[in-house]
Amino acid sequence: MGSVKDLTVIKSACENSLGLGRFTFSDRYSVFDWGEMPDKITNKGAAIAILGAYFFEKLESLGIPTHYIGLVENGETKKLSQLNSISNTMEIKLLRVVKPKLVNGNYDYSEYKFQKNGFLIPLEIIYRNYLPPGSSVFRRLEKGEITPEDLGLDSMPVPNQKLQNPIVDFSTKLEITDRYIKPAEAKEISALSDAELDNLINLTLKINNLITDEFSKFGMINEDGKIEVGFDLERKIILVDVLGTLDECRFTYEGLPVSKEIARIFYRKTQWYQEVEEAKKKDRQNWKQICKLNPDPLPEKLASLISQVYCSCTNEITGREWFKDIPPLKNILTEIKGLI
């Protein structure tokens, strides 16, 4: 399925029916689109699965459709309240994936004009409440790909700037390397109507508010995050993949990162990261093949602390001690600050 989770297809999706599948969330992790990194983060998969289930169940209670069915324990599919122990396996409804064709170095999305329902929309939709130092926004502004006006700003932003109003951003989902695009191109390649694009933006903002409210109860700031969506059999938007987790969002607590941004901060100081950036400049599609270095594993102590961050966050947000003997999040982050 991908670098951090695997998909088991129980029943394939087709044009007139949704499929059935199971995500297995692994302890693998990925940064900078590299794919699987050389080590693992203990209990990360179960922490992500449980927190993702928590938000899916919240959204369903608000009448927002998702592909979530439940988490799997001893072969049975259950809601969170029915689980007796942790689970890293989520049962989901499947949509069709219609991949754009790569023609002479460019992607052809014309097939989407003929698709009516039951398929994945080929976008990642990003909301931004802050512009942290690692945000792609600054790189795009520097290259002239976007302007402050595109962000609803009247001047150039600075790192850690809080936005007066959240920004909704778009990137491609099914290309070799994700590419940020403007709303007009997102609408065009996905063959969305004006009303569907507006609904997608409004839904993203509603989910942003939910995640922000949940994490703010524990003093955490929701800086940015992403969702993925598709159309159900009636061409209504349905939430897919997973959302509200430390892999899909960037959170901070008293200025410290509470996400895989911790790993990004560490790797940005390495020669491997510099080689990745150089390779991407040379060849956007084949950069990994020409990158001269492979990443080293995280230091053992830092990997252990990142594991504790995932577990502590899931415990605190869900209000249940899924993972035993985990220190309070504040204590873990204080120790991480000394390492990075």
Question: What total number of domains does the chain contain?
Answer: 1
- Please answer whether residues 228 and 97 qualify as being in contact, where contact means their C-beta atoms are separated by less than 8 angstroms: no
The burial class, CB within 10 Å (0-12 / 13-18 / 19+), for 261 is: buried
Q: Which domain holds residue 141?
A: 5-339
- Residue 65: what residue type? P
- Residue 259: what residue type? S
Share of the chain above pLDDT 70, in %: 99
Residue 63: count of CB within 10 angstroms of its CB:
6
pLDDT reading at 92 higher than 90: yes
Determine which of 129-133, 169-173, 294-298 has the lowest per-residue pLDDT on average: 129-133
Beta bridge partners of 127: 168, 225
Mean pLDDT, residues 81-95:
98
User: In this structure, are strands 19-25 and 68-73 parallel, antiparallel, or unpaired?
Assistant: unpaired
Mean pLDDT, residues 307-318:
96
SS (H, E, C) the chain: CCCCEEEEEEECCECCECEEEEEEECCCCCCCCCCCCCCCCCCHHHHHHHHHHHHHHHHHHCCCCECEEEEEECCEEECHHHCCCCCCEEEEEECECCCCEEECCEEECHHHHHCCCCEECCEEEEEEEEECCCCHHHHHHHHCCCCHHHHCCCCCCCCCEEEEEEEEEEEECCCCCCCEECHHHHHHHHCCCHHHHHHHHHHHHHHHHHHHHHHHCCCEEEEEEEEEEEECCCCCEEEECCCCCCCCEEEEECCEECCCHHHHHHHHCCHHHHHHHHHHHHCCCCHHHHCCCCCCCCCHHHHHHHHHHHHHHHHHHHCCCCCCCCCCHHHHHHHHHHHC
∠28-38-45 over CA atoms, to 5°? 10
Which one has a higher pLDDT value, 181 or 254?
Answer: 181
pLDDT, residue 246, reads: 93
Nearest CA to 256 out of 306, 322, 321, 208 is that of: 306
At 196, which CATH number? 3.30.470.20
- Please answer whether residues 24 and 45 qualify as being in contact, where contact means their C-beta atoms are separated by less than 8 angstroms: yes
Share of the chain above pLDDT 90, in %: 86
User: Is the pTM of the predicted complex or chain greater than 0.85?
Assistant: yes
pLDDT, residue 337, reads: 85
CA distance 67 to 230: 9
HSE at residue 229, side-chain half, CA atoms within 13 A, is: 26
pLDDT, residue 152, reads: 84
Mean pLDDT, residues 66-93:
98
Residue 2: count of CB within 10 angstroms of its CB:
13
Residue 2: pLDDT band by 50, 70, 90 thresholds?
low
Summary mean pLDDT of the chain:
94
pLDDT, residue 33, reads: 87
Nearest CA to 91 out of 103, 77, 101, 105 is that of: 77
pLDDT reading at 59 higher than 80: yes
Nearest CA to 166 out of 233, 249, 96, 289 is that of: 249
